[in-house]
Amino acid sequence: MKNQPLKIVIVGGVAGGATAAARARRVNANAEIILLEKGPTVSFANCGLPYHLGGEISDRGQLLVATRELFQNRFRVQVHTGYTVDTIDRAAQTVSGHTLEGATFSIAYDKLILSTGSEPLRPDFCNVEANNVFNLWTLDDMDRILSCVKTPECRSATVIGAGFVGLEVVEQLARRNVSVTLVERLPQVLGPLDAEMAKMVELELVRHNIRVFLNASVSKLHTTDGKVSTVQLANGESIATDLVIVGAGVRPRIELAQAAGLTIGQSGGVAINEFCQTSDANIYAVGDMVEYFHGVLDKPIRVPLAGPANRAGRIAGSHAARPSSSGRMSPVQGTSIVRVFDLTAGITGLNERACNLNAIACRTAIIQAPHHASYFPGAKNLTLKLIYSPESRRVLGAQAVGAEGVDKRLDVVATLLHFKGTIDDLAGLDLAYAPPFGSAKDPVHNAAFVAQNDLDHYPRLVASNANLEGQQIVDVRNKAEIEKLPLPDAIHIPVDEIASRWEELDPAKPTVVVCHSAKRAHVAASWLQGKGFQTVYNLSGGMSIRKLTE
Amino acid sequence: MKNQPLKIVIVGGVAGGATAAARARRVNANAEIILLEKGPTVSFANCGLPYHLGGEISDRGQLLVATRELFQNRFRVQVHTGYTVDTIDRAAQTVSGHTLEGATFSIAYDKLILSTGSEPLRPDFCNVEANNVFNLWTLDDMDRILSCVKTPECRSATVIGAGFVGLEVVEQLARRNVSVTLVERLPQVLGPLDAEMAKMVELELVRHNIRVFLNASVSKLHTTDGKVSTVQLANGESIATDLVIVGAGVRPRIELAQAAGLTIGQSGGVAINEFCQTSDANIYAVGDMVEYFHGVLDKPIRVPLAGPANRAGRIAGSHAARPSSSGRMSPVQGTSIVRVFDLTAGITGLNERACNLNAIACRTAIIQAPHHASYFPGAKNLTLKLIYSPESRRVLGAQAVGAEGVDKRLDVVATLLHFKGTIDDLAGLDLAYAPPFGSAKDPVHNAAFVAQNDLDHYPRLVASNANLEGQQIVDVRNKAEIEKLPLPDAIHIPVDEIASRWEELDPAKPTVVVCHSAKRAHVAASWLQGKGFQTVYNLSGGMSIRKLTE
């Protein structure tokens, strides 16, 4: 045993720091481990904040998952809350800073783990003297919002930003019977999803009486008596409100790392290797402040989410405390999920837009299927969009929206993405089936089958929002369906009559076959193709998706 | 176009045959496709039968998923029900047989797809003249059981065989307020699971007032007035009963294939290649009658389940109708799942017993974790057992039992098994996390972490049922836990006192650290190991699992 124990200093408890501390202790009983946190608590369940706001998590104490006592007694970690680190002296291997009480400190380290996290962006319009404009980032933020929400005058709220946390806040405020308006700069909610998938979430918000403003920039917050009373949009509209919550994204807290000369990556996070070491091998970094290698995009990106932060914390803690430790950070896929009232929506890997932006060739399949056997009571429809490479057949990403079973399908595809699997791998997965849990052909199988048909020209898909002008459009739905949702200029032949009536059609004309969900259209289109039609397409996702793109 | 269209004959609608027919049509509009089914319906939802028995699927019509009209009108498949094929003439490429009405037929084929399925085993004790002894295999079986169950005299039932279908039947009979006794030859329910996992299911059955007899062979069924009145066990016990349902396993229906000289594999199913071709390239076989390549066992086995049957049907239908088709059957992992009252239990890959039987070196980790964030309301405990190779670190299988989220974890591991992933892959998966759906560290991550600790000696696990005699046993639970479930001969040091009291222990003695679920024991054991204790083990799964093994 060395005379001087290894000294590990961790800066920041949230976003992986606390995990790193606990892990370091478990692989090294003799290290001296010091956790410096500028806030009042070692760590807290930040993903739970919205749910206490709405009262779904009724006990605030539930959010304090990692207590000082636990860290001190069980893990023998010296915890200093209210300690802000201001500088790192890499040559001397010390961190210096100040305490909440104004004292200064300087602490030596052998290994330093940075977990300074991120902070919410505050757009210019937030620069207003008002006591009812908030971010939701800390326990303190949550407490202040909650005390505002609980006043009888608070009847309406405006949430600015329709990202994952924004939507959680919307849902939870609605639970409190606050009338909620959602304002989003983009033309859709949930920026990480493709537009047609996000549309389903938007409709769910509207169904729950949320007023949704898209393509809407906030130009000014008007105040009355020290409170914002009106949110003014750039298009001139104004929204009366008793409360404003801004969820405009986050930025990594990298100032400390940057000042110490650590390499910052292209995406704006601290660059780390697979052991979570920064450009200084004695300094690790984890969580929202770093960039992780994205397994599909094949380059580092920032992923300010709890999952990667926790895994990185474990890797960093292991390696700092015992350099022989074999743990390595796996690539991320940017998997994320949100519940919005009765719907769940999520994504793993790349969306179609990201593929286009990064010049990655992709095709997409979109299907609707019951989340478990259709004949078993309670089956609910799930929409799954699969993104895949036409050359390698590799799956590039998936998005899912539905009432049940969304998380399972995302996790299956996320696991497949980890291994760079193809649509053929997906089609062949041996998943758990009994009627209450799935179908002999699971929705992920169905999506893979549709993708296989597309790439194998059995027949090809055409995008759900494609311009159909000049095509021979064959609508194989039944009459009632067509009356409910008409498709102009289509020739109507119900699917079960295609085999007897296909000769009514012109085999030389480019043909698009359409039904409700692209299943029957596949039967009809493959028939026409087999009968020698020159160019036959199946409208991807059918009318049920096309109506979301208009 | 050829003058003579390709002629595809399919024998058997269930277990993949109907899927093959529909798929063949979609890749070949010009083939002649004939489906011969000896039963009265093209196909039916056989996995749904138990659920109609209990009334959970109230409408019998829901089980008739594939109608004759659908196949004839939409897929242009000639459907002949009541047609039994008796012989295959491979040289002449014809099948011959007889109809229900006694007529004979002979039909030529270019490609033949066999889907003759399996049939329930009927042990000797079934040879009894009685009208209340059933298997549950066909719609007809179901109808007959149901009419028996609905008589007011039917107050008690005995289910013989505690496999997946047996347990579904037990659950559904209990739903009908029938008093149910379950009889099983093996020392546990659910043979595919390891004993401690199956024990949880057994306790759930008992909790729902099912009488469970294990290690129990039926020696005789005693009849009174043409009905079985008593089930006599080999140990002398006898069970009064109004109804007997036998679920003693199935055997593949291979007589037709065998008589035609097709190769039968070692496991007793028809041997097929990755296109589902038998030893005769013009004859395909799918479903319960074949053997599939098992991706972990690295050899073919029989898997009489709907999932593989459907996937194989699709592959066979594609390849028979269009030999250039690229689809290949992926290896299976034997993934299966069952709901038993408020619990779900399932498996993917190999269990510990199968590893031992096949001389595959394995170690196991068993964890308990909430199915979603512990601080979010409704979190329910899930037990996950992971089997992995100590040499390659490859995951060999997983079993899960719990109230919620079991299917998701099995599907994640099944996907990982498809790619022959390791415990390190599992630890690094980027899964979908928000409080209602999981935890930043999902149960599958936790299981992988425990396995990593085991293989990396941080510290080693010892089996939950290990003989602890002669070891220095350190119980780090709190007093209340110990009083509730004592562990004799243990030294009691609560986990949070280990760091101050470890010197009370003898570092030279082989030491086993124990807590409720092996989490706190990991903290304490790693501390002792770090302090120079010679041999330290963590009791796998802790007392919560050990109590299931006694």
Q: What are the residues whose beta carbons fall under 8 Å from the beta carbon of A429, sequence distance 6 or more?
A: A412, A416, A442, A444, A445, B330, B411, B414, B415, B418
Please write down the HEC assignment for all residues of B16-30. CHHHHHHHHHHHCCC
- B233: three-class secondary structure by DSSP: strand
Does the global pTM surpass 0.95?
A: yes
Q: Name the amino acid, one letter, at A368.
A: Q
If DSSP states are collapsed to H, E and C, what string results for B79-118? EEECEEEEEEECCCCEEEEEECCCCEEEEECCEEEECCCE
Average pLDDT over residues A125-136: 95
B422 interfacial to chain A (CB closer than 8 Å): no
CA angle A362, A368, A373 (to 5 degrees): 130
Termini Cα distance of chain B: 70
CA–chain centroid gap for A253, Å, is 20
Alpha-carbon distance A212 to A234, whole Å? 15
Mutation site, A56, A347, A415, interface B, largest B CB count within 10 A: A415
- CA distance linking residue B34 with residue B76, whole number of Å: 9
**B52: Cα within 13 Å, side-chain hemisphere:** 25
CB-based contacts of A127: which residues, under 8 Å, 6+ apart?
none
Whether chain A has a CB inside 8 Å of the CB on B501: the answer is no
- A-chain residue closest to B30, CA distance: A530
pLDDT tens-digit map of B210-268: 999 999 999 999 999 999 999 999 999 999 999 999 999 999 999 999 999 999 999 99
Q: How far is CA A108 from the centre of its chain?
A: 38
Does residue B370 have a cis peptide bond before it, meaning omega lies within 30 degrees of 0? Answer: no
**Residue ranges with strand state E in A302-357:** 336-340, 343-349
Q: What is the predicted pLDDT for the residue at A325?
A: 84
CA B146 – CA B144 distance, rounded (Å):
5
Tell if the CB–CB gap between B373 and A26 is shorter than 8 Å: no
The dihedral region occupied by A256, where left means phi > 0, alpha psi between -120 and 50, and beta the remainder, is alpha
Please tell me the distance from the alpha carbon of residue B426 to that of residue B424, in angstroms, as a whole number: 5
Note whether B496 contacts A431, CB cutoff 8 Å.
no
Q: What was the pLDDT predicted at A546?
A: 97
Q: Other C-beta atoms within 10 Å of A124: how many?
A: 9
Helices (H), B386-428: 406-418, 423-427
pLDDT band at residue A1, thresholds of 50, 70 and 90? very low
Q: Is the peptide bond before B459 cis (omega within 30 degrees of 0)?
A: yes
What distance in Å separates residue B26's CA from the closest CA in chain A? 6
Given a contact cutoff of 8 angstroms between Cβ atoms, the answer to whether B287 and B15 are in contact is yes
Mean pLDDT for the stretch of residues B38-54? 93
| Separation CA A526–CA B475 (nearest Å) | 67
State residue A316 phi and psi, 5-degree precision.
-65, -45
Both tokens assigned to A268: 């704006």
- The mean pLDDT of chain B is 96
Could you say which of A73, A376, A429 has the minimum Cβ distance to residue B48?
A376
Q: Concatenated DSSP letters for A204-229?
A: HHHHTT-EEE-S--EEEEEEETTEEE
Please check whether residue A408 is in contact with residue B407, taking contact to mean a CB–CB distance below 8 angstroms: yes
* CA pair distance A160, A246, nearest whole angstrom: 5
**CB–CB of A526 and B26 under 8 A?**
yes
| Per-residue model confidence as pLDDT tens digits over A205-245 | 999 999 999 999 999 999 999 999 999 999 999 999 999 99
Using alpha carbons only, give the angle A524, A373, A405 rounded to the nearest 5 degrees.
105
Query: How far out from the chain centre does Cα B284 lie?
Result: 25
> Are A174 and A55 contacting, i.e. CB atoms less than 8 angstroms apart?
no
Contact B388/B394 with Cβ under 8 angstroms?
yes
Number of Cβ within 10 Å of residue B348's Cβ equals 30
Tell me which residues of chain A, numbers 268 to 307, contact chain B at a CB-CB cutoff of 8 Å: 295, 305-307
Q: How many whole angstroms separate alpha carbon A423 and alpha carbon A408?
A: 17
Indicate the pLDDT class of residue B3, thresholds 50, 70 and 90: low
| Site from B411, B522, B526 to mutate, A interface, most A CB atoms within 10 angstroms | B411
Residue A309 and residue A287: Cα distance in Å, rounded?
4
What is the Cα A364 distance to its own chain's centre? 19
Which DSSP category does A135 fall into?
A: -
The reply to whether A434 touches chain B by the CB within 8 Å rule is yes
- Provide the 10 A C-beta neighbour count for residue B530: 22
Q: Would the CB atoms of A65 and B499 count as touching at under 8 Å? A: no
List pLDDT tens digits, range B432-485.
999 999 999 999 999 999 999 999 999 999 999 999 999 999 999 999 999 999
Q: What is the mean pLDDT of residues B354-367?
A: 97
Sheet strands side by side (includes B94-99): B83-89, B94-99, B104-108
What pLDDT does A65 receive?
Answer: 82
Specify which residues B211 forms β-bridges with: B181
Instruction: Count the Cβ atoms, other than its own, within 10 Å of residue A296.
Output: 25
Neighbours of B180 (CB within 10 A): 26
Select the residue of A327, A328, A440 nearest B307 (Cβ to Cβ): A440
Give the separation between CA B256 and CA B17, rounded to whole angstroms: 15
Report the residue from A328, A377, A411 with minimal CB separation from B431.
A411
User: Is B201 strand, coil or helix?
Assistant: helix
What pLDDT is recorded for position A15? 74
Tell me how far apart the alpha carbons of residues A185 and A187 are, in angstroms, rounded to a whole number.
7
Query: How far is it, in rounded angstroms, from Cα A486 to Cα A478?
Result: 11
Which tokens sit at B506?
């003898």
pLDDT value at residue B15: 74
pLDDT in tens, B81-112: 999 999 999 999 999 999 999 999 999 999 99
Residue A80 predicted with pLDDT over 80: yes
Contact A39, A81 (CB under 8 A): yes
pLDDT by residue (tens digit) across A423-436? 999 999 999 999 99
Encoded tokens for A476 = 């194989």
User: Is B540 in contact with B463 (CB distance < 8 Å)?
Assistant: yes
SS3 call for A346: strand
By the 8 A CB rule, do A415 and B445 touch? no
For residue B1, what pLDDT is reported? 45
Integer Cα distance of B358 and A31 in angstroms: 43
Token pair of B319 as six digits: 């390849």
Report the C-alpha gap between B441 and A310 in whole angstroms.
Answer: 7
Is residue B14's pLDDT more than 90?
Answer: no
User: Cα separation of B375 and A49, whole Å?
Assistant: 11
Of the candidates B492, B496, B518, the one whose C-alpha atom is nearest the C-alpha of residue B505 is B492
pLDDT in tens, A65-79: 889 999 999 999 999
Does the pLDDT of residue A359 top 60, yes or no? yes
Asked if residues B240 and B230 have their Cβ atoms less than 8 Å apart, the reply is yes
CB nearest to A410's CB, from B306, B339, B432: B432
Q: How far apart are CA A126 and CA A481, in angstroms?
A: 48
Say whether pLDDT at B71 is over 50.
Answer: yes
- Residues with Cβ < 8 Å from A330, sequence gap 6 or more? A295, A311, A418, B424, B425, B427, B428, B429, B430
Sign of the alpha-carbon torsion through B409, B410, B416, B420? positive
Mean pLDDT of chain A: 96
Residue B280 has pLDDT above 50, yes or no: yes
Nearest Cα residue in chain A from B51: A376
- Between CA B34 and CA A3 the distance in angstroms is 83
Average pLDDT over residues A300-311: 96
CA angle B409, B413, B415 (to 5 degrees): 115
pLDDT of residue A3: 67
Cα-Cα end-to-end distance for chain A? 70
Chain B residues in contact with A452 by the CB 8 A cut-off are: 327
Q: Say which residue the tokens 């350190």 belong to.
A: B474
* DSSP tag of B187: S
**Strand-pair category, A299-301 with A292-294:** antiparallel
Q: In this structure, how many other beta carbons lie within 10 angstroms of the beta carbon of residue A100?
A: 12
Predicted pLDDT at B550: 77
> Could you report the per-residue pLDDT of A394-434, keeping only the tens digit for each?
999 999 999 999 999 999 999 999 999 999 999 999 999 99
